[in-house]
Structure 1
Amino acid sequence: MSIRLSVVDQTPVHGSHDKNAAPSLSVELAKLCDQLGYYRYWVAEHHNSIHFANPCPEILVSHLASVTERMRVGSGGVMLSHYSPLKVAECFSMMATLFPDRIDLGIGRAPGGSALTSQALAYPNVPNAGDYYSDKAQQLKGFIHQTLPKEHPFHSIKVMSDHTPQPQLWMLGSSGGSAELAGQLGYNLALARFIDPDNCHPAIFTGYRTAFEKANHGYSSHTMLAIACICAETEEEAKLRAGTAVYRKLAAQMGQRADFLTPAEVQDRYRHLPVSLQSAYDHILAGYTVGTPEQCWDEIHRLSTEFGCQEIAMVTVTYSQADRLDSYRLIGQLL
């Protein structure tokens, strides 16, 4: 089965560079992946984060589309609970007009930040915590495709003078909560295994496809599985480099918030952890795809078969930009 490889970029704040360099490092990675033949490149949305430096994916998407040539570029995703569906539709329809057949609009339900950040984004209103997510997602699609019913109060609104160039619509999920909704509304579905591999199962795609077929949209659906992946020349080196991302996740579970640690610092911390936390670290690492290019490809093929999904997107977070570039280069050379 032919597999498409794609990228989900969280724009990590690499310890190897000044913090304000993070967006430009995403640009560097996107150019490399475009050259290597990756199919799609998405950027994530995070707010008030010390680890990830992209609170406004629509701006970075537009810039990346302007400096790459072949890849589809998009959001993975816009956190729709914060925003007006009309404004999101306007931004991405404009990009689809400027870069035809290359723009994706992926949306998510999560806040992408703290409760305080959600309050600030909603001010002077009250955050809705995703209460209107399904309505907003339906309205967003209606604006993009100009299919709001005649009785809808916004039916007469035109997003662009010509709505023919359209972004491809995707919905993000991590444990199945959005799968049925995506199928009902006719969105494509991207499943974020990198967030919660323990609760990310092939049955989620099955449920999505059932809902999609039942809705009889009249067009085909697409699915993508996003995994955490770190590749290096040797398995030992790959596991060492993965330590930065693994420990960040473990620290978050412990309620700690600090800059990325170097791989050496992670190993030193690991040695001093109690056995229970060492086991938690090992469990997180086991949910990642880590190893040599051949080992990573074997795992990618296994997951593709298991989930019945022909597109795998990789999320790679490392302490240094050089290690992140190396990871995508090593796997991309086998495309």
Structure 2
Amino acid sequence: MSHPLLSVLDLSIVGRGSTPADALASSRLLAQGVERLGYHRYWVAEHHNMPGIASSSPPVLIAHLAAHTTTLRLGSGGVMLPNHSPLVVAEQFGMLEALHPGRIDLGLGRAPGTDQVTAAALRRSTRREGDDEYFNQLGELLAYFNGTFPDDHPFGRIVATPGRGYQPAIWLLGSSDQSAHLAGALGLPFSFAHHFAAGNTDVAVATYRRAFQPSAVLDEPYLMLGVNVLCAPSNDEAQYIAGPGKLSMARLRQGRPDVYPTPEEAAAHSYSPLEAETARSWGRNHVIGTPDGVRAGLLELADRTGAEELMITTMAHGPDHRMRSYKLVADVMALTPAPA
């Protein structure tokens, strides 16, 4: 079986009884912890109007984490490009790259990362962006970094500072074969959201590899899969700690996002038939269990898809459970700890 690189996706979870400030402080400690354990990169995600997720501004959080780590690659998983001006994204991530050269990833997505009302508040528009508009925004963003605007482009005289000459590693994110095709055609690395769109994984992976064209960035395809993982000493404990994730998703799908429930709250909850189906569907492709079981699940996924990297997201109420899970995975997957 192939042995992929392992990385971390963090949502800065706000658990019941804690605050967003607590969640952000926990993210700093988690980043420092997984750096010591030997994980490759650490990404944060853009979400809005979700009381249980504090990572609403990836570039601000990345700057904070970069100042408290030394070798870990840091990035966005992702910045939702339709929510932002490409010029602002180029300036923000150009600044991060200038401050922390060689350590910054800019992962780009096209979804809003929120509900439609909040998306309208972010974008100051109720117009839904199509694929062509996303492609145009992406082209504009790349041109700010490398100065390749056509001569007749209205923004061609704008110099993003910093930005020009400070391009971070750019990734495309997706949960469908559309993003996979675009990433392949542009010769960019691709991160697929297996953790919430596992039904599309095989098609998207095949599409990406089929569409891939060598570029200045990559000679060959580079695939990373997001995977929801929770590791504990026993299967029963792992399932118990994973319970809040299922309840949280059931509430989100009902339009009732809340702070992250405790394991006790999740275990005591009386699920309606719809909630039970949502929870079952949500957890179907997660890798939850003992260290040996998690290792087998991760290696099977990497072997089946050929993924060069797996980005683990561990959804648990408390930071101690998250850190323990990452430590158990690092040990069983034989990661090389960072030098002391």
Do Structure 1 and Structure 2 share a fold, with TM-score over 0.5?
A: yes
* Structure 2 residue matching 1:195: 3-state secondary structure: helix
Q: How does 1:213-252 map to 2 (within 5 A)?
A: 213=213, 216-218=214-216, 219-220=218-219, 221-252=221-252
Q: Distance in 1 between matches of 2:201 and 2:253?
A: 22
* Structure 2 residue matching 1:314: 3-state secondary structure: strand
Q: How does 1:1-335 map to 2 (within 5 A)?
A: 1-15=2-16, 17-123=18-124, 126-131=125-130, 132-160=133-161, 163-197=164-198, 199-213=199-213, 216-218=214-216, 219-220=218-219, 221-269=221-269, 272-273=270-271, 277-333=275-331, 334-335=334-335
Instruction: For residue 203 of structure 1, report the CA deviation from its aligned partner.
Output: 2.6
* Residue ranges of structure 2 left out of the alignment (5+ in a row): 336-340
* Structure 2 residue matching 1:259: 3-state secondary structure: coil
- Paired AA for residue 224 in structure 1: M
Task: Tell me if the contact between 2:246 and 2:282 (Cα under 8 Å) persists in the aligned partners.
Answer: yes
* Residue ranges of structure 1 left out of the alignment (5+ in a row): none
Say how many residue pairs are matched.
Answer: 328
- Percent of aligned positions that are identical: 34
TM-score (norm 1): 0.91
CA RMSD of aligned residues (A): 1.9
Q: Distance in 1 between matches of 2:229 and 2:88?
A: 34
Instruction: For residue 259 of structure 1, report the CA deviation from its aligned partner.
Output: 2.9
* Structure 1 runs (4+) greater than 6 angstroms displaced: none
- Paired AA for residue 129 in structure 2: G
Q: Give a deviation string over 1:149-173, Cα, whole Å, max 9, x none.
A: 3333323332237844320001111
Instruction: For residue 145 of structure 1, report the CA deviation from its aligned partner.
Output: 2.5
TM-score (norm 2): 0.90
Instruction: For residue 83 of structure 1, report the CA deviation from its aligned partner.
Output: 0.8
Q: Distance in 2 between matches of 1:295 and 1:152?
A: 54
Judge which range, 242-251 or 139-148, deviates more.
139-148
Q: Distance in 2 between matches of 1:257 and 1:40?
A: 28
* Structure 1 residue matching 2:196: 3-state secondary structure: coil
Instruction: For residue 253 of structure 1, report the CA deviation from its aligned partner.
Output: 2.7
* Structure 1 residue matching 2:48: 3-state secondary structure: coil
Q: Distance in 2 between matches of 1:305 and 1:143?
A: 38
- Paired AA for residue 202 in structure 1: D
- In structure 2, do the counterparts of structure 1 residues 151 and 210 end up closer, same or farther at CA, with 3 Å as the change threshold? farther
Judge which range, 154-163 or 91-100, deviates more.
154-163
* Structure 1 residue matching 2:177: 3-state secondary structure: coil
- In structure 2, do the counterparts of structure 1 residues 41 and 329 end up closer, same or farther at CA, with 3 Å as the change threshold? same
